[in-house]
Amino acid sequence: MSEARSSKSNGRSKGRRSRSLVALDGEDDRVIPLDLDMRSERSRGDLEPRAERHGDLDLRTDAEPAERADADGERRRPFGAALPRLADSAFGATSFVLAVVVPTVLTALFYMFLATSQYSTVSQFAVRGPAGAAGPADMLGLFATTASSETADTYIILSYIHSRDMIEEVDKKINLREIYDRPEADFYYRFDPTKPIEDFVGYMKTMVTTEFDTFSGVVTLTVRAFRPEDAQLVAENVLASSERLVNELTRRARDDTLREARDEVAKSEQRLRLSRAMIGSFRGSQSEIDPAAAAAAQQGVITQLEGQATALEAQLNALQQTMSSTAPPVLQLQSQLAAVRKQTDVERQKVALERAGATGSALTERLTKYEELLTEREFAERAYVSSLASLEGARVEADRKQRYLAVFVSPRPAEEALYPQGLRWIAVVFGVCLIVWGIFSIVIAGVRDHFV
């Protein structure tokens, strides 16, 4: 009876074990039979439970073995199993040494024993203009306009300092390529003079640096070289070239501002000269200085003749009351009156418009032409005076926009080498290599976890 109980107990335990194995193994409702008598034929490694994960014991058996057999019976490992484990093997330490420690040590050895000392010269300057007088109302607008213009000119100078034009200009004066190819320079920071100008411009951007404070408008120029006197010489020539550019910009701005005003003055002056020349030509062709004065004199003659005619008519009327019309005095007065009237008509004909077929020009026609010339001359004179005033205003505006380079910290030779800052670059190399190695380690671990 005890044997029956034990057999029943074994049967129940087998059934529970079999059910638990089926429940753990089958995620797609598949039933895998387990023959307990075949345990001796299986390898010990296949029946060993998986390691604990996060404190929980996993008793499940793999549905598929970690190593699969090919058609020829040859065993092969999955792709993820071929990747090394950075944390569980010596590969992590080896990769860290090769990717981080070795570059850092090499960089430290270079800056400790091979890198050449570099001397720096610091100079400070600003682009300034004359302070113009302004009232309280427009002071804010004037300051904003002036500050904006000076800031724009400063950015032009900063771009010019790192440009090819400035490098070539300074190179012609002091031979920059020779300065940065000194025998005491190390192989890394020395520049090969046989390289093209584009490489030299990029190299000079590392040796000549600028910092611009937008609030104060101050530019800090830092020049590095392998000798203190070389750094000072390069800085002085860079400042000289920058000052020349500022003066050139000021001259161009002044010429642009005054060019239009000067052209307008030239046009007005030419117009005035032409109008005066036309008046002189008219006077020469008509043989009279002032047709208006001639017309006034002519009108006086006509008025005088008309007065004489009136007086003769009065005398003639008086004689005709006492004498006959054939009396000699009456005939004489009639003759004089006719002569005066005829002369009056002649004088009026000189003033009147030119008749058809008549020779010469009438006084009214000459007077009209002369007045047109006078009007043109008056307009030309006014335009000339206005253009002169515009030119003077443009000159004042150009003087207000004048710029100059104010150097308040002159370059001086250095007494101590501050570059190439070995500790800084060692730290940079170490940090970059450490970041790259860390990213590589994360990628390898992720790929392995994905394929295992």
**In sequence order, which residues have a C-beta less than 8 Å from that of residue 46 and are 6 or more positions away?**
61, 65
Weakest mean pLDDT among 147-161, 273-287, 378-392: 273-287
pLDDT of 42-69, one tens digit each? 444 444 444 444 444 444 444 444 444 4
- What pLDDT sits at residue 351? 61
Q: What average pLDDT does the segment 139-159 reach? A: 68
Residue (of 401, 409, 398) closest to 126 by Cα position: 409
Residue 152: pLDDT band (50, 70, 90) is confident
pLDDT of 412-436, one tens digit each? 998 888 888 788 889 999 999 999 9
CA 77 from centroid of its chain's CA atoms: 62
Residue 73: pLDDT band (50, 70, 90) is very low
Check residues 41 and 267 and name the one with the higher pLDDT: 267
Report whether pLDDT(39) > 50: no
- What pLDDT sits at residue 350? 65
How many other CB atoms are found less than 10 A from the CB of residue 282? Answer: 16
Task: Tell me the C-alpha distance between 40 and 23, whole Å.
Answer: 24
Q: Which residues pair with 220 in a beta bridge?
A: 124, 211
- What pLDDT sits at residue 90? 67
Weakest mean pLDDT among 5-14, 271-280, 286-295, 378-387: 5-14
Q: Which amino acid is at 22?
A: V
How many other CB atoms are found less than 10 A from the CB of residue 338? Answer: 12
Residue 131: pLDDT band (50, 70, 90) is low
Residue 362: pLDDT band (50, 70, 90) is low
pLDDT of 276-334, one tens digit each? 888 888 777 766 667 766 667 767 777 888 888 888 888 888 878 877 777 788 788 88
Report the sign of the C-alpha dihedral through residues 133, 139, 145, 148, in that order: positive
Check residues 250 and 450 and name the one with the higher pLDDT: 250
Report whether pLDDT(204) > 90: yes
**Cα separations in angstroms, 317 against 157, 305, 314, 338:** 102, 18, 5, 14
Cβ-count burial of 435 within 10 angstroms (0-12 exposed, 13-18 middle, 19+ buried)?
A: exposed
- What pLDDT sits at residue 232? 94
- What pLDDT sits at residue 337? 82
Residue 84: pLDDT band (50, 70, 90) is low
Task: Tell me the C-alpha distance between 161 and 219, whole Å.
Answer: 11
Report whether pLDDT(120) > 90: yes
Q: What average pLDDT does the segment 366-384 reach? A: 86
Check residues 160 and 28 and name the one with the higher pLDDT: 160
Task: Give one DSSP letter per residue of 110-147, joined into a string.
Answer: IIIIIPPPBEEEEEEEEEE-------TTTHHHHHHHHH
State the chain's mean pLDDT as an integer: 76
Report whether pLDDT(451) > 80: no
To the nearest 10°, the Cα dihedral for 427, 432, 434, 440?
-170
Report whether pLDDT(33) > 80: no
Q: What percent of the chain has pLDDT over 70?
A: 69
pLDDT of 344-356, one tens digit each? 877 776 665 544 4
> How far is the first Cα of the chain from the last one, in angstroms, to the nearest whole number?
51
Residue 199: pLDDT band (50, 70, 90) is very high
For tokens 């994960």, name the residue: 53
- What pLDDT sits at residue 288? 67
Report whether pLDDT(197) > 90: yes
- What pLDDT sits at residue 110? 85
- What pLDDT sits at residue 19? 43
Q: What average pLDDT does the segment 210-235 reach? A: 93
- What pLDDT sits at residue 192? 92
- What pLDDT sits at residue 11? 47
